[in-house]
A and B are shown apart, each in its own frame.
Chain A
Amino acid sequence: MAHSNTPTLSHTRGDDSAHQHTHPLVGHLVPIWLFMAVGGTLLMLTVITVAVRYIDVGEFNIVIALGVAAIKATLVALFFMHLRWDRPFNLLVFLASIVFVILMMSFCMMDTAQYRSQQFVGNAPDVESTLQSNAPGAPVARFKPYTP
């Protein structure tokens, strides 16, 4: 009978208009405070990441930076992208894509490590010719130290 999209209110609690809120026909409603909490956490983690950059922990800098980024990504995926309440298959699709990226990266890094000794030293031909014409001797430092 009805040929329109406009929904009727499916939940009304008496006549209290403050309590009326429409439920979506499909899917799940996330409370606003949760969005704000997750967003605030993300901003805080950003500040932490930038602050850690100025602290020297040697090898662990990139581990910490990427670790914090992974936590932020998890928060975005679970709450903003709704995976927390969604069909598990969507999460499986997303995780599978990450698994394949990790697979690709592992093999490429193994290759890089294996053939490090056979890698070319120096510049590509185009870069080399530009260097000769514009900056002879650059970019390797050309100056000698001051010896009195």
Chain B
Amino acid sequence: MTTLPNTQGAPVDDHHAHDADGAHAHDAHGEHAKYKFLQHHFETPAHQFDSAKLGMWLFLATEVLFFGGLFVAYAVLRARFPEVFTYSSHYLNTLMGGVNTCVLILSSITMALAVRFAQTNKKNAMLICLVLTFMGAVGFMVIKYFEYSHKIHENLVWGKSFYVPPESEEGQAERMILEKPLPSAPAALLVVNPATDAVPTLVTTPVVEASAIKAASSAPKGLATARQEAKAEHLPVAEHDLALAHPTLHLADPKMPANSHMFFAIYYCMTGLHGIHVLAGMVMLGWLIWRGARGDFNSNYFTPVDVGGLYWHIVDLIWIFLFPLFYLIH
């Protein structure tokens, strides 16, 4: 690590020495007198700024490792249950995830602009950019709220609750399927057609056999292969994913692989932790807006805006990795 040059040439622990040559003491004290923000344990504003930046980067390193542990958990789970990830990712709305990604990227742009405007003394522009960044964060959380509430409503949650049919009307239909004795061939599949005001209609459709879905312990070929096999046997297959068309019937879906709840476990862990970081970022941005409106930041002292921006960019960076891992599984 490079050390900053001691421009005064005086001993660093002797800033307030009142020797015969008053020039040393005056120079050493002069910087602190000139800049109110300069704390006593830093020699120059550049020293203080560099230290603040380094401190923030060390914290960001811990954040990378914080999420790194969860990324490792994701990797282990996905190596263990690839078919679970391929199947369950269809319950996630790629459009909402993509919009969230663009919202965060735009908020990163406005945050970087806010730092620049702080550096060039443009207080109003800086405040506008900080407020826009804050609104990006709010938009992200609103979209996340819609995603989560929809999933929780359908009982697409972690753990054993995944296997409890939800209390909605569709859930009751599921419960009817699961509790009554199964007919022999031809099999019946209860389908909820959204086009007809959610009135369930019985559709007699031959479905893929259980053994066509590979067990979790062996090497699975995934949902696409199951569909290809069904096509090869001239069985009618839904044009788009059954899960996407009828998202409430994950329990009655014969294509659902075992241990599908694991996907939602890691999904909520990672995106939830990221959401908490976005909330913390909103608090941080609110603090920066308040201090900025008070007039604390200018071209001499913009460090809080700069290091706050670093945190916000890390939040964006983590989402950049989360998005393809959850929403773009083929």
- Which A residues fall within an 8 A CB radius of B? 1-7, 21-27, 29-30, 32, 35-36, 39, 42-43, 46, 49-50, 52-53, 56, 61-62, 65-66, 68-69, 72-73, 76-77, 79-82, 86-87, 89-90, 93-94, 96-98, 100-101, 104-105, 108-109, 112-113, 116, 119, 121-124, 126-127, 129-131, 134-147
The 0/1 profile, CB within 8 Å of A marked 1, for residues 231-253 of chain B is 00101000000000000000111
Report 11 cross-chain contacts, Cβ distance below 8 Å, ordered by A residue: A5-B301, A35-B109, A76-B108, A82-B310, A94-B57, A101-B68, A109-B75, A134-B178, A143-B207, A145-B185, A146-B185
A residues near B299, Cβ cutoff 8 Å: 7, 22-25
- Which B residues fall within an 8 A CB radius of A? 1-2, 33-37, 45-46, 49-50, 53-54, 57-58, 60-62, 64-65, 68-69, 71-72, 75-76, 79-80, 94, 98, 101-102, 105-106, 108-109, 111-113, 116, 119-121, 159-165, 175, 178, 182, 184-187, 189, 206-210, 213, 215-217, 224, 233, 235, 251-261, 296, 298-302, 306, 309-310, 313-314, 316-317, 320-321, 323-325, 328-330
Complex partner residue of A22 from B75, B76, B121, CB under 8 angstroms = B121
A residues near B108, Cβ cutoff 8 Å: 39, 42, 76, 80
Structural contact, A112 and B68, CB atoms closer than 8 A:
no
Complex partner residue of B68 from A53, A100, A135, CB under 8 angstroms = A100
What is the bound-complex CA distance between A16 and B213, given in angstroms?
74
A residues near B71, Cβ cutoff 8 Å: 101, 105
What is the CB-to-nearest-CB distance from B320 to chain A, in angstroms, rounded to a whole number? 5
Structural contact, A49 and B72, CB atoms closer than 8 A:
no
A residues near B302, Cβ cutoff 8 Å: 24, 27
What is the CB-to-nearest-CB distance from A100 to chain B, in angstroms, rounded to a whole number? 6
Known A87-B54, A121-B216, A138-B256; 13 more pairs at CB < 8 Å: A7-B298, A62-B324, A66-B325, A69-B324, A73-B320, A82-B306, A116-B80, A119-B80, A127-B159, A131-B163, A134-B251, A140-B213, A143-B182
6 nearest CB pairs, A to B: A146-B206, A101-B68, A141-B254, A97-B61, A65-B324, A130-B160
Structural contact, B2 and A39, CB atoms closer than 8 A:
no
Structural contact, A109 and B68, CB atoms closer than 8 A:
no
Structural contact, B207 and A145, CB atoms closer than 8 A:
yes
Judged by DSSP, the binding face of B is: helix
Structural contact, A139 and B106, CB atoms closer than 8 A:
no
What is the bound-complex CA distance between A66 and B326, given in angstroms?
11
Structural contact, A73 and B317, CB atoms closer than 8 A:
yes
What is the CB-to-nearest-CB distance from A133 to chain B, in angstroms, rounded to a whole number? 9
What is the CB-to-nearest-CB distance from A17 to chain B, in angstroms, rounded to a whole number? 14
A residues near B116, Cβ cutoff 8 Å: 29-30, 32, 35
A139 and B209 in contact (CB under 8 A), knowing A69-B320, A97-B61?
no
Which of B109, B113, B159, B217 is packed against the most chain A CB atoms within 10 Å? B109
Which of A24, A30, A105, A137 is packed against the most chain B CB atoms within 10 Å? A24
What is the CB-to-nearest-CB distance from A146 to chain B, in angstroms, rounded to a whole number? 3
Complex partner residue of A127 from B72, B163, B217, CB under 8 angstroms = B163
What is the CB-to-nearest-CB distance from B60 to chain A, in angstroms, rounded to a whole number? 7
Complex partner residue of A93 from B35, B54, B217, CB under 8 angstroms = B54
What is the bound-complex CA distance between A16 and B35, given in angstroms?
28
What is the bound-complex CA distance between A89 and B209, given in angstroms?
58
Structural contact, B185 and A134, CB atoms closer than 8 A:
no
What is the CB-to-nearest-CB distance from A29 to chain B, in angstroms, rounded to a whole number? 6
Complex partner residue of B165 from A21, A122, A127, A135, CB under 8 angstroms = A135
B residues near A104, Cβ cutoff 8 Å: 68-69, 72
A residues near B253, Cβ cutoff 8 Å: 139
